[in-house]
A and B are shown apart, each in its own frame.
Chain A
Amino acid sequence: MATAHVYKRDNVNTDEIIPARYLNTDDPAELATHCMEDLDKDFMNKCKPGDVVVCGDDFGCGSSREHAVWAIKGAQVKAVIAQSFARIFFRNCINCGFYPIELKDAVNLINDGDDIDIDLVNGVIKNNTQGKDIKFNPLPEFAINIIDNGGLLKHISKKQ
């Protein structure tokens, strides 16, 4: 059971996810207090642990700051579902052990406030509010391995 917070926006950039003025810290809990601040000032009041963010295309474009992923993880967002992701953000998610879900037409299949469940293993989003199962393409095995190992560094130390 997670509530979907839907932003019908493309190109949500990392400056909106975590503004540069807060980059003088790398503490996820502190970053989380400013999560999505320049996109939606109210986000942290609405978002409960385990909730999901849904967006249009090119989510996470702009700066390479992994702080964007940490802020989202720090806010205990369970997953980000986007129609597509910017490259560095996508990589950063995998490297942090956070699953980026790519779903065509996401902002039309899921409405703001919908109650959803995500089955990562089978690649299914259950939209409980609308009573629909939505399939998504799982990540390549290579990426899933990194995520399953808890991120790139743990993945590397296992290999060594």
Chain B
Amino acid sequence: MPMTITEKIFAAHCGENEVKPGQLIEAEVDIMMCHDVTTPPAISMLKNAGIPPIFDPDRIVATPDHFQPAKDIKSAELLKRFDTWCRENNLKHYYPVGKAGVCHALLPEQGHIRPGEIIVGGDSHTCTYGALGAFSSGVGSTDLAAAIATGSLWFRVPESMKITLKGSLKHGVFSKDIVLDVIRQIGTDGARYMAMEYVGDTLAELSMESRMTITNMAIEAGGKNAIMAVDDTVREYLKGRLKNDAPYNEYQSDPDAEYASFVEVDCDKLEPLVALPHLPSNGKPIGEVKGMAMDQCYIGSCTNGRIEDLRLAAQIMKGKQVAIRTIIVPATPDIWAAALKEGLLQIFYDAGCVVSAPTCGACLGGFMGVLAAGDKCISSTNRNFVGRMGHPESEVYLASPATAAASAIEGKLTDPRPYLN
């Protein structure tokens, strides 16, 4: 039977020759991603349930990110529970404060994601890793606890949606605009329970980082996972990076594999988009919304807080002044260090931005730039739900780091294209 990449990965992990959508299976999990918000409850659950706590410590990758460095006393206690557990269990892949970064930027960067593997994480944006040809999906604390304890988990094999990217992105248009367009087309539950498989010529033009921006936001369309086949860009990225450098499995979907639905993005025609409050599906071309006054700009997160994003923002801000509060959050320590070395931090400083340590920070309204009632924030993050970055009466506008940076300079929603000449 012809299968998709996602189906092939599942089949290989449950000891079957084939699986089909709708089937309930028990699959081996290769990596469990653990962070400070959802892992401490999982740890308590395991203690209370009295089941052997860790199946294989080497499969766990742990980093605090949401409220690190501790934002208040309660978070400090959460972080302490997390830290104690990681240390007591001698977790080999633990990134304590100082090494810690936003999980979905950190795990691929540090070489924990291998094509063909199954990764679950106690975080909905775990779907990011699909850009590397792996199945990955976000789960709750109980699922995480079960995976930690047993090394496996139950899954319903998802139907697949095929998303074809054709043409070439024009100057000033980025992968964030692609994914905002997909979500605009299908809605926030358009891919509910589905595997979102990306194919098409445009992919070859996209860097590893910009691909991860796309897979990161699968959950914003309700997707279970996003997946892209392994190609030279992936192989190149993984070279010398993988913690486990045994050969990995590259899966391709069979030409006659079944898809439940089809979506197409014509990248030639795409313009910079801004998703208006309060849904990621409210994407509008910048031309329709430019001029709207903003109070803050936030560039960071697992969606667009990588070095490429910071380079882009710096390119736009170089020699200019921002007109509104602008907060730059490199997603991991390595990204922070690269930004320092490349002189980007100096550019941000000169432009009047705040540069923070790697953290999830205000992306989820934690700290480091939380919004007041009535504030409008142009943000390179992934969610603009009510209250997401602070007060329930604040507003979040999602866009590419370029659109965010240009808007920071003008203090209003701004087309980045003239800034990129």
Contacts and interface: CB of A to CB of B under 8 A. Distances in A.
Interface in B128-173: 138-143, 145-146, 149-150, 154
Given A61-B189, A66-B41, A91 B139 contact: yes
Nearest to A154: B49
Nearest to B143: A95
A72 B277 CA distance: 25
Interface of A is mostly: loop
A61 B188 contact: yes
A15 B383 CA distance: 10
A72 to B, nearest CB: 13
Contacts of A24: 67, 71-72, 74-75, 78
Contacts of A92: 140, 142-143
A42 to B, nearest CB: 13
B387 interface: yes
B140 A69 contact: yes
B189 A153 contact: no
A76 B222 CA distance: 27
B181 to A, nearest CB: 19
A156 B388 contact: no
A16 interface: yes
B267 interface: no
B149 A156 contact: yes
Contacts, number: 136
Contacts of A102: none
A16 B219 CA distance: 17
A157 B385 contact: no
B365 A20 contact: yes
A160 B222 CA distance: 33
Contact of B142 (A13, A15, A66, A160): A66
Interface in A1-49: 10-11, 13, 15-16, 19-21, 23-26, 37-39
Contact of A66 (B38, B74, B219): B38
A75 B40 CA distance: 21
B279 A11 contact: yes
Nearest to A15: B385
Given A11-B279, A20-B366, A38-B392, A91 B67 contact: no
A152 interface: yes
A88 B124 contact: yes
B386 A16 contact: yes
Interface size grouping (class) on chain A: 35 or more
Nearest to A90: B193
Contacts of B75: 24
Contact of A57 (B66, B154, B189): B189
Nearest to B388: A15
A138 interface: no
Contacts of A124: none
A9 to B, nearest CB: 11
B72 A153 contact: no
A103 to B, nearest CB: 16
Q: List the 8 closest pairs (A to B, CB-CB), nearest first.
A: A66-B140, A92-B140, A95-B142, A24-B74, A58-B189, A64-B124, A64-B138, A20-B364
Interface of A: 10-11, 13, 15-16, 19-21, 23-26, 37-39, 57-58, 61-67, 69, 84, 86-88, 91-92, 95-96, 140, 142, 151-154, 156-157, 160
28 contacts: A15-B364, A15-B386, A20-B366, A21-B390, A23-B37, A25-B78, A26-B78, A26-B141, A38-B386, A57-B189, A58-B222, A61-B188, A62-B124, A62-B383, A62-B385, A63-B124, A64-B122, A64-B123, A64-B126, A69-B140, A87-B222, A91-B140, A96-B142, A142-B24, A142-B154, A151-B142, A152-B142, A152-B146
